[in-house]
Structure 1
Amino acid sequence: MFQGRSLLKEIDFTQAELAYLIDFAIHLKALKNQHIPHQYLSGKNIALLFEKTSTRTRAAFTVAANDLGAHPEFLGPKDAQFGKKESTSDTAKVLGAMFDGIQFRGFKQTDVEILAAESGVPVWNGLTDTWHPTQMLADFMTIKEIFSDYTGKNLVYIGDGRNNMANSLLVTSAILGVNITIIAPDDLQPATDIQAIAASKAVESGSHITITADTAAANGADIIYTDVWVSMGEEDQYDERIEKLMPYQVNAALFVQANNPNCIFMHCLPAFHDLETTTMQAIHAKSGLTELEVTDEIFKAPYSVVFQEAENRLHAIKAVMAATLGHLFIPKV
């Protein structure tokens, strides 16, 4: 049921299948922590095709492949002719003939779709401008580890509501039965087609969806989630986004509004919470700001689970790779 399939976006899998992958990831994490070998992909070769830079995605796919007994090969923007001298379709055919699976992290969703259609091997979306499915598995895995379940929990995402993270959180929450609130300025809310997908899934799962510009909607949050205000390729928009999104910063006042002592903070990283990056130093020199989407106080608070979440990228990605390429016995879900 998983064997040979690609993970290109969250709606590629049913609620039961996503739930299985999350539980499988938790199981694989336990195996790793107990130093129990699980080389389900022994002898396999995995292409890691990157248009966009990465810390967690590259590290997670590389370690996941090694843990599973596979051999990863990194192909960065300067390592392949992809998109320059060779079409996506031609690249897919070449890589599919040499590798057993392909990870793609880039800009256009159409590229990862073509890779899957033309390569003949499983393709995994490590991030596109539209969706971020492996992050979702890690995120809801983290929520389940902390709360024992995610069904019926109240997830509030605040900030830039029309990026891949907002899209994925909205749709995945709707699939899994998580109540999701997107708080963003009116012109930075999810596209209507994304909202329509989420609405149809929410009918099936019982998820409640709220999309608003009012920060008061954070009341009752179990999880407060944010992301950077400027995505890759939009670096010329910092001034505009900062002015528009500063009222949507995750800070102590927002957690007071949440009015839940058990509320946790999540962020897919990287985060601009201090001056320890050259990007934030440049912003500080221009604007005087020392923090953007989240304050350092919240980022480092005991209820911040960002590094547990980051580690779980490894286990979630490993679950996807093993399930789709490992010839495992998986009961019907």
Structure 2
Amino acid sequence: MSNSIRHLTSIKDLTDEEFKILVDRAQHYKTIFKSSNSEEFQKNHLKLLGKTVALIFTKRSTRTRISTEGAATFFGAQPMFLGKEDIQLGVNESFYDTTKVVSSMVSCIFARVNSHDDIQALCKDSSVPIINSLCDTYHPLQAICDMLTITEKFAAHLSDSSAKNLKITWIGDANNVINDMAIACLKLGMDVSIATPQGIEMDASIMKEAKKIASQNGTKIEASHDSKAASKGANVLVTDTFVSMGEEFAKEAKLKQFQGFQINQELADLADPDFKFMHCLPRHHEEVTDDVFYGKHSIVFDEAENRLYAAMAAIDVFVINKGNFKNLK
């Protein structure tokens, strides 16, 4: 059964048009949500009324949990949070057994797990759609959210056919967020510049796919270890945590490795005068200074809110419309 089910595991698994549809649907539901139109709310609330959406989270979360539960509720479903202390998974029950049981009782599973192998195992054995809510390799919901945020803030630029491609610059680690964000940017016609410290490289398979998409779409992607060069002319400066969950044991060594990669006024001065700053949160001071994080160029809280509409888009397409991107209800 699971072979016919469409899951959301990463942005690279989507066609350019499918990804654009997801971003458009996120904007669509944001408009409805902000309008507080009672008729629209009621119509959407009936779509999953009486259904259950499971959240299998083996990692703690703020934005992912709130946005997922909020999106499920918007469509009339009951969200069920299943943290690592709540179920038998990993204690005395296998991934296979847990997946078979949980998927038999719910309409979809949002999974925030450790490895991408866990996501693949869920997809293999689930009888309902799996929405990857973060693993060690991908973070597709964040990418949908980020592209919604960028397209909102640069609407005039993107509608100008004579304008150059937006330049999105990532300063930091080669992690799950940039893996999906880079692909997402290239699919929407944006250029990507990535700067990581010496000794940290982007995943070769992801870069291969990124360059293929860039070639097809007339966009560019570059990766270097020079944070200043990458920042020059950037329309958007982006970073993320330098020490991911589960890497706390290596914090001291990683912070030493990341010296010179904090986004500060020096790097900001190299960017476009009207640049925007983004961060998926939670934020630590070593990643970005207060004057940039809370400054006039920062759109981090708009970005955080947009996680809600990204989750709505995912539920709409993969659950309500069963992975069919055409003739959306």
Task: Settle same-fold status: TM greater than 0.5.
Answer: yes
Q: Are 1:47 and 1:99, in contact at CA under 8 Å, matched by a contact in 2?
A: yes
Give the Cα–Cα distance (whole angstroms) in 2 for the partners of residues 94 and 111 of structure 1.
Answer: 16
What is the CA deviation profile of residues 42-68 of structure 1, one whole-angstrom value per residue up to 9, with x for unaligned ones? 222111000000000000000110011
- Change over 3 Å in CA distance of 1:195–1:330 after alignment to 2: closer
- Deviation string 1:49-93 (CA, Å, 9 cap, x unpaired) is 000000000000001100111111000010111122122121111
Residue identity matched to 2:168: L
Counterpart Cα distance in 2 of 1:45 and 1:240: 43
Give the Cα separation in 1 of the matches to 2:124 and 2:165.
Answer: 36
- Is the 8 Å Cα contact of residues 18 and 325 (structure 2) preserved in structure 1? no
2:249 and 2:179 mapped to 1: Cα distance? 22
Give the Å deviation of 1:207: 1.8
Distance (whole Å) between structure 2 residues aligned to residue 194 and residue 121 of structure 1: 27
Determine which of 67, 73, 89 is the counterpart of 2:80: 73
Contact 2:21 2:325 survives alignment (8 Å)? no
Q: Equivalent of 1:269, from 277, 281, 289?
A: 281
- In structure 2, the gaps of 5 or more residues are none
Query: What is the aligned partner in structure 2 of residue 121 from structure 1?
Result: 128
Q: State the TM-score, normalized to the length of structure 1.
A: 0.89
Q: 1:301 to 1:98 in 2, by over 3 A?
A: same
Query: Retained in 1: the 8 A contact 2:165–2:219?
Result: yes
Q: Distance in 1 between matches of 2:321 and 2:57?
A: 26
CA–CA distance in structure 2, aligned partners of residues 4 and 28 of structure 1 = 24
Pick aligned residue for 2:217 from 181, 205, 222 = 205
Alignment of 1:237-276 (within 5 A): 237-258=250-271, 260-272=272-284
Residue of structure 2 equivalent to 1:15: 16
Whole-Å Cα distance in 1 between the matches of residues 23 and 104 of structure 2? 30
Identity of aligned residues (%): 37
- Provide the rounded CA distance (Å) in 1 between the counterparts of 2:127 and 2:215: 34
Matched positions, count: 311
Residue from 298, 305, 310 that aligns with 2:304: 310
Match of 1:43 in 2: 50
For the pair 1:146 / 2:153, whether they are aligned, the reply is yes
Match of 2:171 in 1: 158
Tell me the secondary structure at the aligned position of residue 170 of structure 1. Answer: helix
**Unaligned regions of 5+ residues in structure 1, if any?**
273-290
The one of 292, 301, 325 equivalent to 1:298 is: 292
Shift of 1:18: 0.8
The one-letter code sitting in structure 1 at the alignment partner of 2:133 is: G
Residue in structure 2 matched with residue 283 of structure 1 by the alignment:
none
CA distance in 2, matches of 1:5, 1:129: 21
Q: Partners of 1:310 and 1:235 in 2: how far apart? A: 24
The aligned counterpart of 2:190 is 178
Once structures 1 and 2 are overlaid, which stretch shifts more, 46-55 or 214-223?
214-223
Q: Report the CA distance between 1:332 and its aligned residue.
A: 6.2
What is the CA distance between 1:183 and its match in structure 2? 0.5
1:56 matched to 2:63? The reply is: yes
Asked whether the 8 Å contact 2:12–2:180 carries over to 1, the reply is no
Q: Which residue of 219, 226, 230 corresponds with 1:214?
A: 226
SS in structure 2 of the partner of residue 188 of structure 1: coil
1:312 shift after superposition:
0.3
1:132 & 1:330 partners in 2: Cα distance?
20
Could you tell me how far 1:330 is from its partner in structure 2? 5.5
Instruction: Give the C-alpha shift of residue 310 in structure 1.
Output: 0.3
Instruction: Tell me if structure 2 keeps the 8 A contact 1:175–1:198.
Output: no
CA distance, structure 1, for counterparts of residue 278 and residue 215 of structure 2: 26
Amino acid corresponding to residue 299 of structure 1 in structure 2: F
